[in-house]
A and B are shown apart, each in its own frame.
Chain A
């Protein structure tokens, strides 16, 4: 498996029963999801559900291309998006989404087909909005620099949902707690790579140390551009995807269209950057209104 650094994924020797090596102080681990390699097989979705014992959510036909999953949710921690590019505007740097009268393309772009497929997942932000919002301390940063919701602590207040700029955590209608990708914390503890990365047949999902993945992503982007995929770029550094105080994503993506085509915000912001100025504004209003109330109470009887 050339895509994973041996330190993070080499299985323990045959028959070893010893507890896993101490993991504290290891470097950040994450995902690189290279959408140019995704074939839309959904093996990641299935592997995630199987390993994490997540129930099936829906058996419906959504009528949105080949995507019948819809969204990341409490029981869906990988979600493969399908985008059919129906116009030639994509080649010109547009989003390629049908806008009515534009003609369908008659030639294939220099790479891939007219399909974009992307396996979405929790971004495991360097500065995570969900983690900072959580009032119970249920959401923690692990020794692998991943973001995990401790299920024995979460009380289902729901504040992490709107605090995530990517719409990742969700409340389960079954146990009423918040759930999301754990980056297979249990597998990492045992020196295994996450189930989705293990199952991905094209290595579209790569797992490893974040710094190594980032370096590899830049090489891959350069190679793709050299081969004619001029729109290729890395989503998840501090110029796009990990902006506004998020300071980068530990689960990043190689995209070939504007991020909004994949429902990813281009320049998200860490919501908690607003806490201090908002409280300062409230304090100012409290002083002014308090003084005004006092004056109103002092008039002649």
Chain B
């Protein structure tokens, strides 16, 4: 608040008051964006690793299936608790609205939950982790690769639709970069998932070095994509609308995210790549934790900068001025 206020002799619009009403979404929704992204993207990584085959990939697929389901578990409660009337969460299932990303997200999350649960339970059955004798047989018979590939579509959707959800609003910072937010959230989900998998496998004894190397490749790819998309975002938004990304609290957090959550992990990757053994694993763990913090921070910045953007009438007018700022001739 205030940090991004326009510096002018006269405030924009009507006493500088916001034109828009910003959403109330804060920590619960930011956390959902984070965990939902990890759940979706680690499912995708697991399915593709299974498809690619090999011993190292089998380890990645196994960890990815468990991680996907574990990251999915907090999502429904986070979303339900964020509602003004949590007891009415089932009202989301009254309708299917193709023009409402939140409605699509509800159904997509439902579909993805089934896939993720099935993949994780099938894995658990094959690993002999299920306590009962009756369940493992039908679950073990579930064709893991087919379920994995079928679920990849809803998994990719869950990883990125949250960016589309934000883009389909009147908030200048979100809607002006409508082509970039979905890919940005997807890339961020992928880097967070790769980082979380790396952290898990680095601590899991007996992980082949190839598995960590492949995850590091995915993480670098995703972090690099994020950097490029963030740069494109700044260029697309223009100076007025990009103000919350450059100034004030959200600007400072974004600089910390880019420095500590994107550039630093990339630098650690470059340093730790040749190293193996304990030092290599410690480096992988450190860069993973940084990338995870960066993934959470990025979602925090996008949501909170959207709040600042909705509050800034100058940004709204920069978006809506178009060709007709003067009254038209009639």
B52 in complex: contacting residue of A255, A284, A297, CB < 8 Å: A297
Interface contact B328-A239, CB-CB below 8 Å: yes
Residue of B nearest to A62 (CB): B15
Q: Determine which residue in B15, B21, B57, B102 has the highest number of CB atoms from chain A within 10 A of its CB, and name it.
A: B21
Distance (whole angstroms) from the CB of A161 to the closest CB of chain B: 4
- Complex CA–CA separation, A131 to B82 (angstroms): 20
- Complex CA–CA separation, A168 to B170 (angstroms): 12
A267 at the interface (CB under 8 A from B): yes
Interface positions of B from 1 to 27, Cβ below 8 Å from A = 9-10, 12-15, 17-25
Given contacts A135-B95, A266-B317, list 14 more A-B pairs with CB under 8 A.
Answer: A99-B9, A153-B88, A154-B85, A155-B86, A156-B83, A165-B320, A167-B20, A267-B324, A268-B170, A277-B179, A284-B183, A285-B187, A297-B218, A299-B214
- Complex CA–CA separation, A279 to B168 (angstroms): 10
Mind listing 9 A-B residue pairs with CB under 8 Å?
A134-B97, A154-B91, A155-B83, A267-B320, A277-B179, A282-B160, A282-B163, A286-B156, A301-B208
A-B contact count (CB 8 A): 274
Interface contact A293-B48, CB-CB below 8 Å: yes
B202 at the interface (CB under 8 A from A): no
Interface contact A136-B170, CB-CB below 8 Å: no
Task: Please name all residues of chain B whose beta carbon is closer than 8 Å to the beta carbon of A296 when the two chains form the complex.
Answer: 214, 217-218, 221
B210 at the interface (CB under 8 A from A): yes
A158 in complex: contacting residue of B24, B44, B60, CB < 8 Å: B24
A98 at the interface (CB under 8 A from B): yes
Interface contact B221-A161, CB-CB below 8 Å: no
Task: Please name all residues of chain A whose beta carbon is closer than 8 Å to the beta carbon of B210 when the two chains form the complex.
Answer: 299-301
Chain A residues with a Cβ under 8 A of chain B: 64, 70-71, 81, 83, 93, 97-100, 129, 132-138, 153-159, 161-171, 175-178, 218, 221-222, 231-234, 239-240, 243, 255, 258-269, 271-272, 274-275, 277-279, 281-282, 284-286, 289-290, 292-294, 296-301
Q: Determine which residue in A98, A169, A177, A271 has the highest number of CB atoms from chain B within 10 A of its CB, and name it.
A: A271
Interface string of B287-330 (1 = CB under 8 A from A): 00000000000000000001000100100110111111111101
Task: Please name all residues of chain A whose beta carbon is closer than 8 Å to the beta carbon of B316 when the two chains form the complex.
Answer: 265
Q: Determine which residue in A153, A156, A286 has the highest number of CB atoms from chain B within 10 A of its CB, and name it.
A: A286
Task: Please name all residues of chain B whose beta carbon is closer than 8 Å to the beta carbon of A166 when the two chains form the complex.
Answer: 19-20
- Complex CA–CA separation, A298 to B214 (angstroms): 8
Interface contact B56-A301, CB-CB below 8 Å: yes
Distance (whole angstroms) from the CB of B94 to the closest CB of chain A: 5
Interface contact B13-A263, CB-CB below 8 Å: yes
A164 in complex: contacting residue of B21, B97, B156, B208, CB < 8 Å: B21
